[in-house]
Amino acid sequence: MTRKGDEAFAREVDQALRAMQADGSLGEILERWGLWDDSQLAIGTTKGAAQTMKPEARGPSLDGAEKAAEVDGDADGDAAAADAPKSAARTTAAAVAEGALITVLLTAIAMPLATIAGLFLALGRISPRAWISSAAVAYITVVRGTPLLVQIFLVYFSLPVLGQWIHAVSPAALQSLLDLVGGTAFLTFPPLFVGALCLAANYAAYEAEVHRGGIEAVPRIQWDAARALGLTRGQAIRHVIVPQGVRIAMPGIVNDLNSLIKDSCLVSVIGVSDLLAVCLGIGKARFTVPEMLVIAATVYLVLSIAGDLFGNWLERRLRARGFATTPTHAKGARA
Amino acid sequence: MSAMTKPLLEASGVTATRGGRAVLRGADLSVEAGERVVILGANGSGKSTLLRILAGLDGLDAGKVRGDGIGLVLQQGALFPHLSVLDNVSLAPRLQGLSDPAARARRALAAVDIDRADAMPHELSGGQQQRVAIARALALEPRVLQLDEPTSALDPDATRDTVRTLAELSAAGIASVVVTHDLPFAERVATRTLVLENGALSP
């Protein structure tokens, strides 16, 4: 199931996850996101620094979905081991949890980036400078007008070509670019990195429109009040308009967060071992694709509900800090 | 006041077109220290347009406006809903690099009898919001304060408070120009009343 070039990344992720297993940070992350269960102990994940396990004491290592399936296969073959099916189930759960973690990671990287980039695109769109607003409109139009799947493929397969071009023109330029962004030969990046970036770049175009809606919904009189106080346009935008616009845009952004959690599965096509890829891998290896897809869908549902809860909490927090779209006049209150 | 002092605000021949209609046709206005000038006029007579031009928010087609230190209090205060009372008042002094913006803000709030510096605007009554908006303009130490329909959303008590506040400010030498169509309020607040009709101001 793993694609060419993916093995190296799978190894890197494994190494990282193993390190996180050993130092307890993976356990903490899983726990924070409510993904912790005792099956983690079986594969050697620790919770916090207090509880350290020696690397030798760890359970079967995981090399993504395929290894999980392999281990499971071995266990099935070993009928003498009475607790084999149980440990296989635990291993599967751990693999699914790893996939879910990657999905959470993709979303957690892409959504904040998209929200911030979208804000700047929206501000670019309303800029009085024509070239800035045209560039913003062009970006938003192209990105919203082409399929995310095509964008993911295009970026993933174009980066090395771009790297070759840069190399052909100036090897030194490529080297300094690589030093800057940390890719390997000819601008090749780990799929997780490229995937998160594609999702962020795509969602930025949508968030730009949500932000624009928010900014345009700020009453005109707020601009006037800022100007009457002598604020410059930039100061008015930064201190008066954007803080209000973002609050108005929040429900839309939270809605898109929910979308992104599920759209993130598209990056599995470039070899990211996310929730869908892991489940599909296990399913194919064991001929349990429908079951594994139901499991994947269920975990997506749980993540999406968690995302909604997080978003609602964020909205409430912003509201609690005293936001009302129009100045309200509390009835009955007296000066 | 005294014939020797230069007017704080002087506008002559102000002409402005809005939506293809000549809203102002040569309006003249001169405001001296401590005066409370009320401008009356029907809806659509160009009162708000005149205030916006005097405050420098809008441009004018012809005429001249001279005066500095002009504060503007917009309809219903137009407070920034996401900022506390103190932050509303201290924002502009802070951004303009004035010394000790928080102390300025507190002084301005004290001048309008607001002691709820940490409250959010929506927690205040309409009258309190109006006075915070006045404090927000006062924090920049204007010579003339302009108010656009200050009583449009106020009950009688809050209206009375606004009258008192403006009287106290004029005692401190700060002139006010008030646009309103609230006649009883106009009678109580004005030291001079002008009517805006056919694009011009007349006594």
* CATH number for B189: 3.40.50.300
Check CB contact of B121 with chain A, cutoff 8 Å: yes
Query: Residues B183, B147: one domain?
Result: yes
Segment A63-83 mean pLDDT:
46
All structural domains of chain A, each given as residue ranges with its CATH number in brackets, are 6-76+90-320 (1.10.3720.10)
Question: Which residue of A229, A247, A327 is in closest CB contact with B121?
Answer: A327
What pLDDT score was predicted for residue A76?
A: 43
Look at chain B and report how many structural domains it folds into: 2
Amino acid at A125: R
Rounded to the nearest angstrom, the minimum Cα separation between B128 and chain A is 6
Q: What is the pLDDT of residues A136-192, one digit of tens each?
A: 999 999 999 999 999 999 999 998 888 888 888 888 888 888 888 777 777 788 899
Q: Which chain B residues touch A222 with a CB distance below 8 Å?
A: 78, 80
Q: What is the mean pLDDT of chain A?
A: 80
Nearest to A225 among B78, B96, B161 (CB): B78
pLDDT (mean) for B153-172: 87
Whether residues B186 and B101 share a domain: the answer is: no
Of B92, B122, B129, the CB nearest to A322: B122
Q: Are residues B130 and B179 in the same domain?
A: no
pLDDT of residue A177: 83
The pair of structure tokens assigned to A258 is 């929910």
Kindly state whether A224 is in contact with chain B, defined as any CB-CB distance less than 8 angstroms: yes
Q: Could you tell me which chain B residue has the CA closest to the CA of A247? A: B82
User: Residue A228's pLDDT is what?
Assistant: 92
Q: Residues B146, B158: one domain?
A: yes
Residue A335 in contact with partner chain B when CB distance is under 8 A: yes
Which tens digits make up the pLDDT trace of A220-270?
999 999 999 999 999 999 999 999 999 999 999 999 999 999 999 999 999
Identify whether the C-beta of residue A118 lies closer than 8 Å to the C-beta of residue A204.
Answer: yes
pLDDT at A56: 38
- Residue B178 CA to its chain's centroid (Å): 6
Q: Do B149 and B62 lie in a common domain?
A: yes
Mutate to test the interface with B, among A215, A221, A222, A224 (most CBs of B within 10 A): A224
Report pTM: 0.76
Domain boundary among B110, B140, B170: B140
Would residue B90 count as lying in a domain?
yes
Q: What is the pLDDT of residues A193-214, one digit of tens each?
A: 999 999 999 999 999 999 999 9
Closest by CA position to A117, among listed A130, A125, A270 = A125
Closest CA to A279 of A92, A110, A37, A123: A92
pLDDT band at A218 (very low <50, low <70, confident <90, very high): very high
Domain carrying residue B198:
1-69+142-203
Domain assignment present for B34: yes
**Rounded to whole angstroms, how far apart are CA atoms A271 and A200?**
18
Whether residue B131 lies within 8 A of chain A, CB to CB, comes out as: yes
The answer to whether the Cβ–Cβ distance between B80 and A240 falls below 8 Å is yes
Statement to judge: residues B60 and B154 lie in one domain: yes
Distance CA A22, CA A40 (A): 12
Q: Does residue B159 fall inside a structural domain?
A: yes
Residue B17 has pLDDT above 50, yes or no: yes
The verdict on ipTM greater than 0.85 is yes
Average predicted confidence (pLDDT) for chain B? 88
Q: Is A255 exposed, middle or buried (0-12, 13-18, 19+ CB in 10 A)?
A: middle
Last residue of a domain, one of B140, B161, B182: B140
B108 lies in some domain = yes
Better pLDDT: A138 or A63: A138
Domain stops at, among B89, B116, B140: B140
Q: Which of A283-297, A319-333, B150-164 has the lowest mean pLDDT?
A: A319-333
> In terms of domains, do B201 and B184 share one?
yes
pLDDT value for A258:
95
Instruction: Tell me which of A63-77, B90-104, B129-143 is least confident.
Output: A63-77
pLDDT digits (tens, 9 = 90+) for A272-285: 999 999 999 999 99
Domain contains B75: no
Residue A77 has pLDDT above 70, yes or no: no
Q: Does B77 touch chain A (CB under 8 A)?
A: yes
Whether B1 and B65 share a structural domain: yes
Asked if the structure places residue B115 within a domain, the reply is yes
User: Would you place residue A38 in the very low, low, confident or very high pLDDT band (cuts 50, 70, 90)?
Assistant: low
Distance from CA of A326 to the nearest CA of B (A): 7
For CA atoms A152, A154, A157, A163, the dihedral sign is negative
Q: Give the gap in angstroms from C-alpha B105 to the nearest C-alpha of chain A.
A: 13
Report yes or no: B106 at the A interface, CB cutoff 8 Å. Answer: no
CB count within 10 Å of CB A122 equals 26
B125, B177: one domain:
no
B75-123: pLDDT as tens digits = 888 999 999 999 999 999 999 999 999 999 999 999 888 999 999 999 9
| Residue whose structure tokens are 């990282």 | A16
- Other CB atoms within 10 A of residue A129 CB: 9
Q: Place A25 in a pLDDT band, splitting at 50, 70 and 90.
A: low
Whether A228 and B74 lie within 8 Å, measured CB to CB: yes
| Same-domain pairing of B16 and B41 | yes
Q: Residue A52: is its pLDDT beyond 50?
A: no
Q: What sign does the dihedral A301-A307-A311-A316 (CA atoms) show? A: positive
B99 and B63 fall within a common domain: no
**How much is the average pLDDT of B157-174?**
88
Q: Is B58 part of a structural domain of the chain? A: yes
Q: Do B15 and B65 fall into the same domain?
A: yes
The DSSP bridge partners found for residue B102 are: none
Is A317 an 8 Å CB contact of chain B?
Answer: no
Whether the pLDDT of residue A335 is over 80: the answer is no
pLDDT of residue B2: 47
- Widest distance between CA atoms in chain A: 83
Would you state the structure tokens that stand for residue A165, as one six-digit string?
């071009």
Let me know if residue B60 belongs to a domain: yes
CA of B102 to nearest chain A CA: how many angstroms apart? 16
Q: Return residues 149-168 of B near A (CB < 8 Å).
A: 153, 157-158, 161
Nearest CA in chain A to B70: A228
Contacts of B50 (CB under 8 A, 6+ apart): B14, B24, B27, B29, B39, B179, B196, B201
